[in-house]
Amino acid sequence: MEAVTGRTPQWMTLDVVTADTNGDLPTEIVGCIPAWLSGCLFRNGAGLYKVNGTNIRHFFDGFSVIHKFNVRDGQVTYRSSLLDTNTVAEAMGIKRLVPTKSGPKSIPDPCKSVFKGSQTYFAELPPERTDNTSVSVVEFADALYALTETATMNKIDRDSLKRTEMIDLSKIVSIHTGTAHPHFNPNGDMFTYGTSFDYRQAFNIVKIPRHLEGSNVQSMSDAEILASVPSRWQNYIAYNHSFGMSDRYFVLLDQPVTFNTKKFQISHVDMQGVAGTLVVKKGESLQFHVIDRQTSRRLPYTYETTSSFVFHFINCFEEDGFLVVDLVLYHKVDAILDLYLESLRKTDFVIPDAGSFARFVLPLNLENAPCDINLVGLCRTKATAVIDYDNPKVVSLTPDYLRPEKIVLELPRINYQKYAGKKYRFVYGSSVFSDCYRLVKVDLEEKTYKEWKQTQYYYPGEPIFVPAPDAVDEDDGVVMSPVLCETLEEPSFLLILDAKSFTELARAYIPRDVKMSMTFHGTFSDDTKSRNLFTSVDIHL
């Protein structure tokens, strides 16, 4: 595609007025929505990039706009609302506060407690730390939360989409950053991830138990760190957007994309985001750390592959003594730097190295295992794992891309309710920031894929799988994706596909004059299922 320098799609031109619809808007339905599909698709994204002359520099750092598609009786209404955070209020020159609640349990500043009595360069986090949460939205303990990569969680009212409460996990457990992609147990407990500036416990798994039904206990106050893994660098901690979880293991990455902890703590993490503190260590390996969920102990091996980068895990599962880790892999290690808005405009909103499906296979039983030979014994995979002869605690990995041409996708989703942490067959993804506008469904057994295409300058978003109530097969259900038109000449719409055939069932066009912003991640709240269990999961493991 020929680059068009300076082109700005309409979804980047929202202002404080057009970001809010001020109510539910009707949509025009084309096609037929399944009668069983009833609930709300909630979406979150960085939808506002300029306020009062202040320009946002990085794609991830825009102000959060929450969206809701309400599906009922074959009809759909649409609503959007700028998330009413302190950060937005300050940017607009309006000073106001909202309640901050972290429960009865709190901790002193982690830097002070960890380094008490010793000389240290660590400073307190700036009080101006952003409360903008613009990446994902999940359900937990019957409530809706907007999340990002900080320790802040904003509780959202389902009807108005306004904030009702702000929770700062760093006041409860010793973490400084968080993730927008938690995981959930079948009983509804949440597992999330956060980093600490103490490199000796840099990467942390945090458990937040779901409170019992009818209980007044605040779940957040019971958050606890289950396991910690050190960073391989003292002054740098790897950037991680997500982590993996199987039935028995957590998987954390130590990536060659890091942030400088000194710069991070002395900078004001405001509208310019943390991107300015990122340091890319080119040539350094991508490392996998595996934590046993039963013992909370890290396996005594380091698994690594060549220098590369990951935003999203897809799924992890155990099979015949191996841990299979599926993710979206970038060979261009500094891919995150391509998402500066200035760079995106120059490349027609196409990043040079699109992410592709990659499967790694990690052997778990390494006692007395031979060196310098491939230990992967699973059938139908080209992935390899070799113990380093000179360092037997290091296992070198190469991935299986399924197909020679690789399968380009991002924003991956699976049937999480039934197959999270288990062997599965299908993954759904979008071609965001590639030169081919499409959604894909990948068959991991047949190593084939199906696609839905749209004309140029329509942007299909993250595809969310919703299982049918009488589902038998893994792909019985629908896939829902917001599709944005670049200009206001044509309306944006909610797309509904039959998941099995990957053919179009219906579209719900929002009014032509409504600017819908780009969204990153979302969740479908199903009216037919209990909100206590798994209906809320924001997959990307």
How many Å apart are CA 104 and CA 195, to the nearest integer? 23
The pairing of strands 257-260 and 249-254 is: unpaired
Q: Within 10 A of 231 (CB to CB), how many other CB atoms are there?
A: 21
Instruction: Check whether 312 is labelled as a binding-site residue.
Output: yes
CB 354 within 8 A of CB 410: yes
Structure tokens at 531: 């909100």
How many Å apart are CA 362 and CA 71, to the nearest integer? 42
How many Å apart are CA 308 and CA 254, to the nearest integer? 11
How many Å apart are CA 88 and CA 82, to the nearest integer? 9
Place of tokens 């099995």: 500
Instruction: Check whether 331 is labelled as a binding-site residue.
Output: no
CB 172 within 8 A of CB 107: yes
* H or E, element range at 48: strand 39-48
How many Å apart are CA 80 and CA 67, to the nearest integer? 4
Cα–Cα distances (Å) from 143 to 161, 165, 171, 188, 408, in that order, read 12, 11, 20, 12, 34
How many Å apart are CA 357 and CA 373, to the nearest integer? 25
Q: Beta-strand (E) ranges in 388-519?
A: 394-398, 410-413, 426-430, 438-443, 448-453, 458-460, 464-467, 477-485, 493-498, 503-509
Gyration radius of the chain's alpha carbons: 22
Annotated binding site: 181, 241, 312, 521
Annotated binding site for Fe cation: 181, 241, 312, 521
